[in-house]
Amino acid sequence: MKKSEKLVTLTIDGREVQAEKRTPLIKVAKKVGIKIPTLCYHEALEPYGVCRLCTVEVVRGKRTRFVTACNYPVEDGIKVWTQSEKVIKIRKMVVETLLARCPNVKIIQDLAAEFGIKKSRFENLDEDCILCGLCVNICSQIVGENAIGFASRGIDREVDTPFAMPSDICIGCGACSWVCPTGAIKMELETVERFRKLPGNERLCRYTLMGIMSYGLCANSFRCYHCEVDQRFRDQLNTHPIFAARNIEIKPVKQYFEFLERTRKR
């Protein structure tokens, strides 16, 4: 198939653009400089479409649909409106429900201010998790451990370890904490202490456990905020090292390998 046959033509906010067929709409919009808000989307993970904040209006012929841009594949001839009156109304409702669930979470407060919402009409729940699924998905899709997952259903739904017990398969990589948009997941001392109590020859640093490095008893007793390697990963790659380990090109992976080689020579 020729390259031209893979392209589709669509209109976003009155602007005609071309994109590869079945590319997620949110990526096409971002490429042409149109911002679509989202909380549950990360470009390295499979789109989940749960927060609904990225809702847009798609017109195809005489039919209008409201879809989530993160997992809607572009089609030829569609018209997309990302800031229509109905779209804004839907997003305001989404933000208002999130504000009721997590009234003290800064990112939700900022979204509420952006949409002019001062107070939610719904009952406050005082939670800090919006059940976006990013932590569950990164542990499953990228880390490959499935140390956490969703438990229960309906209003009792939550993110937890199997049987709500300390997970034996968690490697303490911190990727779940890194992608959490609300700060609900943190590297707790309980997790850190479990690794510290291991015998010295078993207490490997998380980069060894992730397969990034082939050596490494943790000299910092898993106090990662004191770890020069940890900080350099974040400073040079501007991402969590788990993405570099899995060769996901958020930034050129070459930069990571060059850094790793320099580290090994020390």
Residue pLDDT, tens place only, 176-223: 998 999 999 887 766 667 777 777 777 777 777 777 666 667 777 777
Residue 123 falls within a domain, yes or no? no
Q: Do residues 49 and 70 make contact, with C-beta atoms less than 8 angstroms apart?
A: yes
176 and 67 housed in the same domain: no
Residue 114 falls within a domain, yes or no? no
260 and 162 housed in the same domain: yes
Instruction: Give CA–CA dist 62/227, Å, rounded.
Output: 58
Angle at 140 between CA 138 and CA 144, to 5 degrees: 105
| Last-in-domain residue among 70, 87, 104 | 87
Mean pLDDT across the stretch 16-26?
A: 94
pLDDT level of residue 14 (50, 70, 90 thresholds): very high
| Last-in-domain residue among 87, 116, 146 | 87
254 and 144 housed in the same domain: yes
Question: In the chain, how many domains are there?
Answer: 2
CA 137 vs CA 2, 24, 149, 180, 216: distances in Å = 34, 18, 8, 11, 27
| Whether the model pTM is above 0.85 | no
152 and 48 housed in the same domain: no
242 and 163 housed in the same domain: yes
At 23, phi and psi to the nearest 5? -70, 135
Residue 113 falls within a domain, yes or no? no
pLDDT for res 158 = 92
138 and 194 housed in the same domain: yes
Give residue 214's domain range: 134-264
75 and 138 housed in the same domain: no
At 77, phi and psi to the nearest 5? 85, 0
Give residue-wise pLDDT tens across range 222-231: 777 677 777 7
Residue 92 falls within a domain, yes or no? no
- Measured over the CA atoms of residue 245, residue 248, residue 251 and residue 252, the dihedral's sign is positive
67 and 152 housed in the same domain: no
147 and 249 housed in the same domain: yes
**Crossing angle for the helix pair 228-237 and 253-264, nearest 10 degrees?**
160
165 and 230 housed in the same domain: yes
